[in-house]
Amino acid sequence: MLYNGVVFDFNGTLFWDTWLHNKAWDIFLEKYNLHLTEEELFRKIHGKNNRDILLSLFNNNLNDEQINQFALDKEMLYQELCLKTHMQLAPGVESFLNFLKENTIPFTIATASGKENLDFYFDKLSLDKWFKYEDVVYNNGNVKSKPHPEIYELAMKVINRKPEEVVVFEDANMGLLAAKNAKAGKIIVVNSNNDDYSDWKNNQIITNYDQVNRSLFK
């Protein structure tokens, strides 16, 4: 089977920043005197958008204004941490994106990040070398949280490809389920954080985009 479209998750997939998000959440939780076990942290936070995370953390006792303010607070903590690191895309990404672009294979991003982070990434990681800002599907407050397939379904429409024609790259289990629910033709697991992928052992698992077989694409 050959494929002619690609959709990327972003955080932990194109940009390996899971540890920075976790650290920002740790600071946020301490700031607001919230305490979670490692299992609760994983279950409530990984692969979800900020609205669902915050509603879960505060037991649904937040209005929209509070959600927006808490989300911005957390993301400013995260961005401050990012700026203290050498921000760069994942290993092999630039070469792979150049391959897709040179071969006119359409691709885009489907991310649970909000506009404040999307703007930050385009600025600091020069994403406009490869991606059109207006084609990125992001958390605009209306997109359902993964594992709902909506975010991937929207991205597939953006690149004008049927699900079976598309390869999805994803790192989080909730995101992998979203891609599966969207009936993606192929799902490649990006192991950026040494997560448990025992449920995905039949999928290719990569740690470098140089491991992606270019002959998969037409």
Residues 154, 101 share a domain: yes
User: Which residue, of 45, 64, 83, is where some domain finishes?
Assistant: 83
Distance CA 65, CA 67 (A): 5
**Average pLDDT, stretch 109-125?**
96
pLDDT at 45: 78
User: Which residue, of 27, 49, 83, is where some domain finishes?
Assistant: 83
For residues 44 and 145, is the Cβ–Cβ distance under 8 A? no
pTM (predicted TM-score): 0.92
Tens-digit pLDDT profile for residues 2-60: 999 999 999 999 999 999 998 999 999 999 999 888 777 777 777 678 888 899 899 88
CATH of the domain at 45: 1.10.150
Residues 56, 11 share a domain: no
Tens-digit pLDDT profile for residues 68-94: 999 999 999 999 999 999 999 999 999
pLDDT at 35: 83
Domain total of the chain: 2
For residues 9 and 191, is the Cβ–Cβ distance under 8 A? no
**Average pLDDT, stretch 203-208?**
98
Mean pLDDT of the chain: 94
Distance CA 6, CA 186 (A): 10
**What does the block give as tokens for 94?**
């630039």
User: Which residue, of 83, 115, 133, is where some domain finishes?
Assistant: 83
Report whether pLDDT(116) > 90: yes
Residues 94, 59 share a domain: no
pLDDT at 47: 66
Residues 199, 123 share a domain: yes
Residues 105, 66 share a domain: no
Residues 189, 123 share a domain: yes
Domain that holds residue 203: 5-17+88-216
Residues 42, 103 share a domain: no
Tens-digit pLDDT profile for residues 154-187: 999 999 999 999 999 999 999 999 999 999 999 9
Residues 107, 48 share a domain: no
CATH of the domain at 149: 3.40.50.1000
